[in-house]
Chains A and B, each alone.
Chain A
Amino acid sequence: MCGIVGICKLQAGRDIDLNTIARMMAMIRHRGPDETGIYLDDQVGLGHLRLSIIDLERGCQPIHNEDQTLWIIYNGEAFNYVELRQQLVEQGHQFYTTSDTEVILHLYEQEGPRCVERLNGQFAFAIWNRQSRELFLARDRVGIRPLHYTLHEGTLIFASEVKSIFAVPGVRRELDPISLDQIFTFWTVLPGRTAFRDIYELPPGHYLKVSRGTVEIKRYWEIPIYSREEQLDRPVDELCDQIRDLLTDAIRIRLRADVPVGGYLSGGLDSSGVAALVARRFNADLKTFGIRFEQESFDEGTHQEQMVSFLGTKHREVWATPELIGNLFAPTLWHCEKPLLRTAPVPLYALSGAVNESGLKVVLTGEGADEVFGGYDIFKEAKVRRFWSRRPDVSVRAVLFDQLYSDVFRDQRAKSFLLSFFGKGLDRSGDPLFSHLVRWDNTSRIKGFFSNELKAAIGGADPYEPLRQSLPERYHQLDTVGKAQYLETMIFLSNYLLSSQGDRVAMAHSVEIRLPFLDYRLIDLAARVPSRWKILGLNEKHILKKVLAPVLPRQIVARKKQPYRAPIVNCLLSGASRESAMGFLTKEAVQRAALFDPGKVNKLRAKLQAVENPTEIDGMALAGILSSQIIYQQFIEGFPTCIQSAAHPNLIFDRRVQSAPLTGRYAV
């Protein structure tokens, strides 16, 4: 796990400056505190920051092939590298390390761009062929590891995080109006975009090639879609065995590391299942980490404690108090690099801090299971609304919502209005986005706070249309739950969960997360499991519960899913962080950023300070507005232009013709 940066000249022009590469690296030192290395020639500069996990002694990057024509910088893990290496050795490749990095390099040498199809893991890497003068960038299938790029004055600039790109002199820093429109609709940007104008993210499952001055982007993997005929028509017990075997294998290869591997443990089905399989099959001496909340409605402590005593793990809790969430909101945003409508990433930022303090670098998590096996309420909601839409007049069908949202429907007085809320858009059941329209329409209400300038810049663009256009033909074969799962995986998983609640907040404290449920073999198998086994009636993750039942306490399997959420308003507007929040929300600050209407922001602030129980949408509005203001301050107005370069690199390969060649290993 590491950080990568690089610059590639697409045409003749100014030389690449070693100091620029060093500055880019300095911005993401948190991603790789152990070692650094640079490769430089007349066309390309590559920088690498290393978090040493495999081959601690010799894995320093950049790494080259036998004749030094190919050079790689790599962030991530290819968990099947042991098997791949064996094949490559048989094919005559010679290795000078035991790292997975070198395996990828030789696999590329052997198979070219198609090498990515053979990797089982989480990765973003760059390979430079100094002979053919081609640069190859690739990102893993679902987007666990980040990779950003921009085109600037005849160069391609790329980096694990946007802040490194902004460290290059002359690169324009501006928030992108269309991206903001997307964030305030979908809770995040659509694949390929970032919060910033002209800065892109290589979409998951894609690679990028630079050759003879042109840039080409190709998709190599798609979220699998199987028609009803292609789905597995087998007895459910047989399917369960197959899923259990594959999940166990996904965990087995994710425990490959030359450092100890810990686990996140929330007390929910997914992380408990992973921890149980690890503790029972591979490592009884597991260290686990969990988040606790003071507010009972958010806390899963009872279940966490039950799992800890059941497995006997060495467990550490992080209490996500309102003060902690308030204080860490801005530092978390610096790592997430986009506005957030929720505070849920903050406790995860604190959690990785605890992992780091405990001396661990790697943790397994249960993330991804909800997307793959159908865990979210929105899938069930879509199912009920679909059922209701066939007979909108029969309101008894809507009674199913009672079961689905018993907590929301507790208030009998608002029940009929809630039903009309969920009943909105029933006539749009033919829309490919049907499952998510209620949520997205509701979130879009926050755009009422946008300033006139921002509204004008967005224009009349409909945020849904580009999304509808991007859906593959086969999407339309999916059933209601399948469509909702696809949208959730494509948008929310890749661009929010794996990023703002995943890589970015973990790597902020130099911690690598590994996600067994997102092993592509498991994603593929789950896509072939009929929806009815995933959500049986309104019982979410039915088949996964059956798979994990033999290794978990009965209560953990039987408990109703509790969505992971964190409080908002009392964290951001009270206690010590209140003053700093107010500073970002003053009329002057809001006017300077020109993103929101200062009068409306003031009214929202006053309302939230006066009411006892703020509504969900007002809380999201506060988080969205405040985080946008903070991002504006961090990345646009107050971006640190005077950046200290990192300590002297451990490794520099300087192959520039003009300068005296400089090669060797240095002490820090």
Chain B
Amino acid sequence: MSIQDDIRNYIVENILFGDGQNLGPDTLLQEGGVLDSTGMLDILTFVEEKFGIKIADDEVIPENFDTLRKMSGFVERKMSGRTAAR
């Protein structure tokens, strides 16, 4: 399973409770009503634990996290040691 699938599964199971048919790679998670203000913290914890990365405060910005595609891209870059978008 790809990183994006892993994150998507987590969101579908734990935040959408199985209702994932409208969640695509480019769905806006916050504005599209998928995540509430605290749901984002859930995901950060999940991503850090699952992929063994540490996310800095200033990396938590919509450019890195507001869609599944951006999130998985960010995680990939972190895992390969490249600098994340700032």
Using a CB–CB distance below 8 Å, which chain A residues touch chain B? 408, 411-418, 420-421, 424, 441-442, 445, 448-449, 597, 599-600, 603-604, 607, 611, 615-617
Specify which of A417, A599, A611 is in contact with B65 (CB 8 Å cutoff): A417
Stretch in contact with the other chain, from B1-9, B33-41, B68-76, B78-86: B33-41
Contact of A448 with B17 in the complex, beta carbons under 8 Å = yes
Inter-subunit contact A413/B36 (CB<8 Å)? no
In the complex, whether B18 has a CB less than 8 A from a CB of chain A is yes
Q: Smallest distance from the beta carbon of A7 to chain B beta carbons, Å?
A: 45
Closest beta carbon of chain B to A537's beta carbon, Å: 24
At the interface, yes or no: B24 with Cβ under 8 Å from chain A? no
Known: A414-B60, A417-B62. A615 touches B17 (CB 8 A): no
Closest to A420 in B: B30
Interface of chain B: mostly helix, strand, loop or mixed: loop
Partner of B18 from A414, A421, A442, A603 at Cβ < 8 Å: A603
For chain B residues 1-58, which have a beta carbon within 8 Å of chain A? 13-14, 16-19, 30-31, 33, 35-42, 44, 55, 57
Give chain B residues whose Cβ lies under 8 Å from the Cβ of A449: 17
B62 touches A414 (CB 8 A): no
Expressed in whole angstroms, the minimum distance between the Cβ of B16 and any Cβ of chain A is 7
Q: Can you name the residue of chain B whose Cβ is closest to the Cβ of A621?
A: B17
Whether B36 lies near A616 (C-beta < 8 A) is: yes
A415 proximity list for chain B (CB < 8 A): 60
Contact (Cβ within 8 A) B61 A416: yes
B interface with A by C-beta (< 8 Å): 13-14, 16-19, 30-31, 33, 35-42, 44, 55, 57, 60-62, 65-66
Q: Do the beta carbons of B33 and A599 come within 8 Å of each other?
A: no
B55 partner residues in chain A, CB cutoff 8 A: 413
Name the one of B17, B57, B62 contacting A603, with C-beta atoms under 8 angstroms. Answer: B17
Asked if A604 and B17 sit within 8 Å, CB to CB, the answer is yes
| Cβ contacts under 8 Å, B38 to chain A | 414, 615-617
Cβ-defined contact, A417 with B42, below 8 A: no
**How far, in whole Å, are A600 and B17 apart by their CA atoms in the complex?**
5
Q: Is the CB of B31 within 8 A of A420?
A: yes
Nearest A residue to B56 via CB reads A413
Closest residue of chain A to B59 (Cβ to Cβ) is: A413
Q: What are the residues of chain A within 8 A of B62 when measuring CB–CB?
A: 416-417, 420
Q: What residues of B have a CB within 8 angstroms of the CB of A442 in the complex?
A: 36
B36, B40, B66: which contacts A445 (Cβ < 8 A)? B36
B42 touches which of A412, A421, A424, A615 (Cβ 8 Å): A615
CA distance A81 to B25 in the complex (A): 67
Q: Bound complex: CA of A417 vs CA of B60, how far in Å?
A: 8
Most chain A CB within 10 A, of B36, B37, B42, B57, is at B37
17 extra A-B contacts, CB within 8 A, seeds A420-B30, A597-B18: A414-B37, A414-B44, A415-B60, A416-B62, A417-B30, A417-B35, A420-B66, A421-B36, A441-B33, A445-B33, A448-B16, A448-B17, A600-B19, A603-B13, A616-B38, A617-B38, A617-B39
Which residue in chain B gives the minimum CB-CB distance to A614? B38
Question: Which of A421, A597, A600 meets B30, CB within 8 Å?
Answer: A421
Output the residue of B17, B18, B57, B66 with the most chain A CB within 10 A. Answer: B17
